[in-house]
Amino acid sequence: MDGQDFFTESGVAAENYIQNRLLLLKLQAVEKISKLSAAMFAGLLIGVVGCFIILFLSILLAWLFAEVLGNVFLGFGIISAFYIIVLVLMVIFRKNVLQKTITNTVINIFFEKNANHDNSDSEQTPFGNK
């Protein structure tokens, strides 16, 4: 084997390695994006169903309070006041609770460790362990 063949074969191997590495990065990005999309869709679906449950339970409680207090306006007013308090608390604590929770969830999805790859102790390469 002469020097010219060695450099030609090395160039082809390097080019193949780069192409394979780019393909791996694309596949990993697609995996992370699909996991994030699935988590967002599941969260949205749970949120919609949860809203319906809360809506009907709120109407139930409002009618219950109205029955106990003898005043429909007061029954629905108590439930409305409760939701106003919840809204104010959500506005106050949105950065501490809501934004951090959502941000941490997205970060965990994108940087989760997978048993098949991304092991910090023994990172795999196409040519074996590093």
In tens, the pLDDT along 1-15 reads 566 788 888 888 999
Please state the three-class secondary structure of the chain as a single string.
CCHHHHHHHHHHHHHHHHHHHHHHHHHHHHHHHHHHHHHHHHHHHHHHHHHHHHHHHHHHHHHHHHHHHCCHHHHHHHHHHHHHHHHHHHHHCHHHHHHHHHHHHHHHHHHCCCCCCCCCCCCEECCEEC
What's the rounded mean pLDDT across residues 97-107?
Answer: 82
Q: Residue 121: is its pLDDT beyond 80?
A: no
The domain limits of the chain are: 32-129
pTM: 0.60
Q: Residue 61: is its pLDDT beyond 80?
A: yes
Lowest mean pLDDT: which of 55-59, 61-65, 93-97? 93-97
